[in-house]
Amino acid sequence: MIFAAVMVIISAIFGTIAMGMMFDPAIINADPATFDSYAANGAYWAFERVGEYYGLGNKIMIIYALCNMIGQFSTLVVSIDAPLRMLLDDDKTNKYIPRKLLKKNKYGAYINGIKLIIVLAGSIILAQILVPGAATVLRQLTKLNSITMPLRYLWVFLAYIFLRKNRGDVKRDFYFTRNQGFALFFGFWCFILTAACCMLGMISDDPMQMALNVITPLVLVALGVILPMIRAKEDKKLS
């Protein structure tokens, strides 16, 4: 895992340097429309230039686009179906989920849970209809993703802090560190740093973008509170 993390970091650094050598930042930041186009299509432009450099035209860009498409489909499976199965197959967690969301289709997929995700994602996309230009929409959705994705790790860090505070009550085979003060320091440090970066990332000159950045995490947290309450009412009726 450490090797994989180092490899990702190195790839990101060299990729950033390569993009800086290919494109003039002064031109990209000349106006919002150009920046939005770069944010949406920068990777495709880069592979297009690589193809032109080697005399292959758009072939390398097309190969990248196909690979990216396959990768996005696999991400949908990993990010939606797999977490739903892990969460809802576990008796310790599915007791907090409304029974309607536990419905499976013939393939074992939690179909109503997938429908809920489609509604949530579709609502976010529909909220962008007032924004002019597809490039701007993609840039805003990318920005929103860069805020909501790290925010979920706040729960991981919070859980880690509470587990360390109650370490005598939980049996585990792996320890990040056996030093309690050191462990709590890193738990709080990760939590505070992630929260600060995400909140700073919510700030935007565009009022709609900023509203979306603030409202979306609040709605997702509210769902996390409401769904167990619905399940509790269902259990109460059955009992």
Dump pLDDT digits (tens) for 149-185: 888 888 888 888 888 887 666 676 777 777 788 888 8
Burial of residue 128 (CB within 10 Å: 0-12, 13-18, 19+) is middle
pTM here is 0.69
Q: What is the pLDDT of residue 46?
A: 84
Q: What is the pLDDT of residue 124?
A: 77
What angle do the packed helices 134-151 and 180-202 form, to 10 degrees? 160
CA distance 170 to 186: 19
Tell me the helix, strand and coil percentages in the chain, rounded to 5.
Answer: 80, 0, 20
Q: What is the pLDDT of residue 169?
A: 63
Ranges of the chain whose pLDDT falls below 50: none
State which H helix or E strand residue 113 sits in.
helix 111-126
Specify which residues 110 forms β-bridges with.
104
CA angle 87, 109, 72 (to 5 degrees): 85
The domain spans of the chain are 133-239
Quick check: 107 and 79 in contact, CB under 8 A? no
Question: 3-state secondary structure string, 178-225?
Answer: CCHHHHHHHHHHHHHHHHHHHHHHHCCCCHHHHHHHHHHHHHHHHHHH
Buried (b) or exposed (e) across 11-45, using 16+ Cβ within 10 A? eeeeeeeebeeeeeeeeeeeeeeebbbbbbeeeeb
Q: What is the pLDDT of residue 66?
A: 92
Q: What is the pLDDT of residue 73?
A: 82
